[in-house]
Amino acid sequence: MPLERFRDRSAIVTGAASGIGRATVARLVAEGAAVLAIDIAADALDASVAEANAGAAAGGKAVARIADVSSEGDAAAAVADAVAQFGTLDALCNIAGILRTVRTEACTLELWNQVIGVNLTGTFLMCREALPHLVESRGAIVNAASTASFFGHPWMAAYAASKGAVAALTTTLAVEYSKQGVRVNAVAPGSVSTGITASVDFPADLTKEEQKLVHRIMSPTGMGDAASVASVVALLASDDGAHMTGEVVRIDGGTHA
């Protein structure tokens, strides 16, 4: 039987135009959720929403909204829009993220701030704006951390720092809001085929010894897909995850087993 864990529930998904965000929108809508799908890539977002709505369960729907999660104004307006459209907010899935690879000594402050701004500040802003509504609904937050949160990923200093901070933010919010009924968890994907991983371009001048370090982030079981991560996001956001909070669930095909 099809799952209907999100019937009569609403959610926001950021990074909804591609990869894990797109798969999460499709999964939640297929389980009956009304979803505000957020991204900055208009055409890809429209395609994502159309795809999700084609597979929607009864009561499920996706609505597109262009917003930059690193903008304080955009984050506040997006949450307000979701509540205005759906009447409540039951889940926030912070999936938006960017990855840049560069030798750390060559990492500019501009690049550093860009990555931190989307991955960490964007997650914080969306959480801050959504929390009053999630307290009211006793809802859930699912953030996107990474295996880079806990294991050394060379040439990804800004990304790893941002994702480590997302993991810390997740556990902090889980404890802070535990008595108010809000659950806060994160997924930590690794070795998953998405738009982010497809664009990884390691420094061209790697030595033979440095090239061996690439295997630190390669799964022994092959690359996973975005839908496999979205299924865990849906679990954590649903009542099936009712006794889970403060967890960072690694999904990496055994890369760091």
Sign of CA dihedral 30, 125, 99, 254: negative
Of 230, 104, 245, which is closest to residue 161 (Cα–Cα)?
A: 104
Give the three-class secondary structure for 155.
Answer: coil
Cβ contact 45:254 at 8 Å? no
Residues β-bridged to residue 144: 187
Whole-number Å distance between alpha carbons of 177 and 242: 14
Token reading at 58: 């009864």
Single-letter amino acid code for the residue at 206: L
Whole-number Å distance between alpha carbons of 230 and 23: 6
**One-character DSSP codes across 137-191:** HT-EEEEE--GGGTS--TT-HHHHHHHHHHHHHHHHHHHHTGGGT-EEEEEEE-S
Tell me the catalytic residues.
159
Strand pairing report for 224-225 and 61-66: unpaired
Whole-number Å distance between alpha carbons of 193 and 13: 19
The total of other beta-carbon atoms located within 10 Å of residue 41's CB is 15
Residues in the chain: 257
